[in-house]
Amino acid sequence: MLTYIIRRVLILIPMAFVICFLVYLGLELTPGDAVSHMINPDAAGSMNPAQLEALRQSLGLGQPFHVRFWSWFTNLVQGNFGYSMSGGVPISNIIATRLPATLELAAVALVFSTVIGSLLGVVSALKRGSKTDSALTVIGMLGVSIPEFFFGLVAISIFALNLGWFPVGGRSMPGYVTLWDRLPHMVMPAMVLSIMLTAGVMRYARSSMLDALSRDFIKTARSKGLPEWRVNLLHGFRVALTPVVVLIGFRLPVLIGGSVIIEQVFQWPGIGNEFISAVRSQDYPVVMTIALLSVMAVLVASLIVDILTAVIDPRVRLGE
Amino acid sequence: MTATQDIAISVRDLKTFFYTNNRCNKALNGVSFDIKKGKTLCIVGESGCGKSVTAASIMQLLPTLSRIEQGEIIYHADRGDIPLHALEKNGRHMRRIRGAEIAMIFQDPMTALNPVYSVGFQIKESLRYHMKMVGRAAHQKAISLLKEMGIALPEKRVNDFPHRYSGGMRQRAMIAMAMACSPKVLIADEPTTALDVTIQAQIFELMDKLKREHGTGIMLITHDMGVVAELADDVAVMYMGNIVEAGTVDEVLRQPTHPYTKALLASVPVLGKGRNQDIKAIRGSTPDPLNRPKGCQFADRCDFAVAQCQTMPEETRITPTHRVMCWRYKELVPNG
């Protein structure tokens, strides 16, 4: 098991390097360079080309691609992501303030959707054909197919504007900093983010559970005289879990990079919101860093999925 | 007739029906037989004749859309007779018997073991629930069971997962699991269909040994006549939900009376007779189970059918042990 994990982590290193390279290549291929972004077009027209060239040289832009990539990469490894073009703030600062907000939301949504989703899915599978199952199926389909911004707007309209239970948006009121104070702010975005995920997990857990329950070993387990709960949970659910874990694992990067819409709807100061403003102001270094972060999240998520599936399903442990 | 104390399970006039799309498939239409202690009863018949349904009925492991409609299954336990057909499907009483007193092994050992638990864990599950045996004692018992089933290095193999076992070894592990609580009856539903011939022989040898050493009554479902000749003490031939002929192995194989049994035996190729031997396939095919013939189920394919066959024949005893369901049995009894 340990060798398996070590091997998976070692495979990650060259993959991460290649991804960094591709991201930097993307940055290189965008039209213009740092100088053309730094100086506003009106001023650039009146500037001496020699001056522009001198500025380029002073910024190190005259050096060949691979040299620049290497210096960018070594900085990256040391945690220095460069500077934002609008405002010149170190990107690592931006990430440090924005990422916790996003992670907070993602963690709540992930835990909630995993627990509730698989629970409802299992109930649905065990009571197949019943009214509960039909109701859950309909709710699940609605949850999967209705876009989340719609749920967000509906939630704001009902719970914030009409009932006044929760604040409309934001992460915290000025001056209130404890987790308890932030909780009311978190409820709506976290729940809305959870809806789609929960529905997806539920649908998946249901079909996976039904598949597991129709297998021969369930009959074997029953023929041994085991009680139903043990047949369903230990023999059925344990086997049904693998595909569900894979699904949840691959939703992880979506939660980190892709809660853009939810963060926008609820004015949540996370990475997603930062991403939108960076794209709007053509702040390439920030956009690239966030892209890099999302891709890394995918890598880490797939590592976690691989390890978890190996824990759950002994057939996966090929490294032994 | 055998004395009652030698009988482990007696099945009387069992009817199990399947319901699909508001139609009823009479999968078992009045089946009676006894499983004797320390004897092997072979149930033979072609696919879909109700062999597996019989096994599932005894174990109360029928699928959701089917139920025992009529008849009785009596398990003659040491503590008294228990009517299995009247027990709640997955209730406490049925669960106490399943695995502990009546155990079952299945057709495909590749899928019958749970892939995510070690073989030892799955054996120990039975021990925990029926013998209240846990921890080191259960582990030792699991090892000795595997050893008895002829698995090499059982101390190491007990912790292995099923995917590291070969097909034959998995079936041995299945038998170890079934034998864990020394059941009175072992029901084997085509246990070697998925295995190759040499392994088949080994598995059957193992089952025969268990029968002799533990006095286990075995109900073996098969469609291999060679296996029947080799292992069976009693034989029941099934066709479309009825036992058309039953008796001791000598009676059924040496004096087959029902036209179906005769046809079945005539369709078995004999090794060494060469490729020109006269194998008679049974003409026609089995009728649609949802649209059965009124009388004898075999009449349409039978060479001896007469007008009388349009009504269901009675079960008739030729000898105290040999019974047959055919109108014309008198003319068809060999040597008599």
**Res A208: pLDDT:** 92
| Interatomic CA distance for residues A132 and A138, integer angstroms | 10
Please give the residue range of the domain that contains residue B20: 4-113+165-332
pLDDT, residue B4, reads 61
Q: Where are the alpha helices (DSSP H) in chain B?
A: 51-59, 92-97, 109-112, 119-126, 135-148, 154-157, 167-179, 197-214, 225-231, 249-254, 259-266, 329-332
Confidence category of residue B336, pLDDT binned at 50, 70, 90: very low
**What is the distance in angstroms between the Cα of B63 and the nearest Cα belonging to chain A?**
10
What is the C-alpha to C-alpha distance for residues A217 and B113, in angstroms, rounded to an integer?
5
Q: Do B108 and A216 touch (CB under 8 A)?
A: yes
Pick the CATH number of A99-316 from 3.10.110.10, 1.10.3720.10, 3.40.50.300, 1.20.140.90: 1.10.3720.10
For chain B, helix (H) and strand (E) counts, in that order, are 12, 12
The domain tally of chain B equals: 1
Contact criterion met (CB < 8 Å) for A216 and B106: yes
Q: Does A212 touch chain B (CB under 8 A)?
A: no
Residue A90 half-sphere exposure toward CB, CA atoms < 13 A: 9
| Contact with chain B for residue A133, Cβ under 8 A | no
B155 found inside a domain: no
CB atoms within 10 A of CB A52: 14
Q: Which of B59, B89, B93, B114 to mutate against chain A (most A CBs within 10 Å)?
A: B114
pLDDT tens across B42-65, in order? Answer: 999 888 888 888 999 998 888 888
Of A221, A226, A234, the closest CA to residue B94 belongs to: A226
Q: What are phi and psi of A42, to 5 degrees?
A: -65, -45
Q: What is the structure's pLDDT at A258?
A: 56
CATH number of B83's domain: 3.40.50.300
Asked if A222 and B98 come within 8 Å (Cβ–Cβ), the reply is: yes
If 0-12 CB within 10 Å is exposed, 13-18 middle and 19+ buried, where does residue A58 land?
A: exposed
The answer to which of A315-319, B161-165, B171-175, B330-334 has the lowest mean pLDDT is: A315-319
Determine whether the interchain pair B95/A227 forms a contact, defined as Cβ–Cβ distance below 8 Å. Answer: yes
Query: Cβ contacts (< 8 Å) between A312 and chain B: which residues?
Result: 116
For residue B3, pLDDT over 70 is answered with no
Please answer yes or no on whether B106 and A222 come within 8 Å at the CB atom. Answer: no
Q: Do A226 and B96 touch (CB under 8 A)?
A: no
Encode pLDDT of A214-263 as tens digits: 888 998 888 888 888 888 888 889 888 888 888 888 777 777 765 788 88
- Give the minimum alpha-carbon distance from B289 to chain A in angstroms, rounded to a whole number: 24
In the A/B pair of chains, how many CB contacts fall below 8 A? 77
The fraction of chain B above a pLDDT of 90, given in percent, is 13
Residue of B52, B53, B116 to mutate when probing chain A, most A C-beta within 10 A: B116
What's the pLDDT tens digit per position in B219-269? 999 888 888 888 899 999 998 888 999 999 988 888 888 888 888 888 887
Spell out the alpha helix ranges (H) of chain A.
2-29, 34-38, 41-46, 49-58, 65-77, 91-126, 131-145, 148-155, 179-213, 216-223, 228-229, 238-258, 260-265, 271-280, 284-312
Facing residue for B112 by CB, picked from A220, A234, A314: A220
In this complex, the residue of B90, B111, B130 whose CB is nearest that of residue A215 is: B111
Give me the residue from A225, A227, A315 closest to B115, CB to CB: A315
Residues of B whose CB is below 8 A from A317? none
> What whole-number distance in Å separates Cα of residue B195 and Cα of residue B166?
10
B233 residue type, one letter:
D
Query: Cβ A219–B130 below 8 Å, yes or no?
Result: no
Residue owning tokens 């170190």: A90
Q: Extract the tokens encoding A7.
A: 């091997």
**Residues of B in Cβ contact (< 8 Å) with A219:** 61, 106, 112
Among A130, A208, A217, A224, pick the best mutation site for testing chain B contact (most B Cβ within 10 A): A224
* A210 near B CB under 8 A: no
Q: What is the 3-state secondary structure (H, E, C) of B57-119?
A: HHHCCCCCCEEEEEEEEEEEECCEEEEHHHCCCCCHHHHHHECCCEEEECCCHHHHCCCCCCH
Task: Indicate the domain borders of chain A.
Answer: 2-77, 99-316
Q: With contact defined as beta carbons under 8 Å apart, do B103 and B181 qualify? A: yes
Average pLDDT, chain B: 86
- Does B135 fall in a domain? no
Question: Residue A312 and residue B100: Cβ atoms within 8 Å?
Answer: no
Q: What pLDDT was estimated at residue A120?
A: 92
| Chain A residues in contact with B118 (beta carbon < 8 A) | 314
Q: Is residue B86 part of a domain?
A: yes
| B112, B117, B126 member nearest A216 (Cβ) | B112
Question: Residue A213 — left, alpha, or beta (φ > 0 → left; ψ -120 to 50 → alpha)?
Answer: alpha
- DSSP, residue by residue, A33-77: -HHHHHS-HHHHHHS-HHHHHHHHHHTTTTS-HHHHHHHHHHHHH
Residue in A219, A226, A239 closest to B125 by CB: A226
Contact B249, B233 (CB under 8 A): yes
Q: What does the pLDDT read at residue B40?
A: 92
Report d(CA B247, CA B220) in Å as an integer: 15
Complex prediction ipTM: 0.83
Judged by DSSP in three states, A171 sits in: coil
Please judge whether B114 and A222 are an interchain contact, meaning their C-beta atoms are less than 8 angstroms apart: no
Nearest CA in chain A to B162: A315
pLDDT of residue B203: 86
Nearest residue on chain A to B116, alpha-carbon basis: A313
Using 70 as the pLDDT threshold, list the residues of chain A that sit under it: 32-45, 59, 172-177, 179-180, 257-258, 317-320
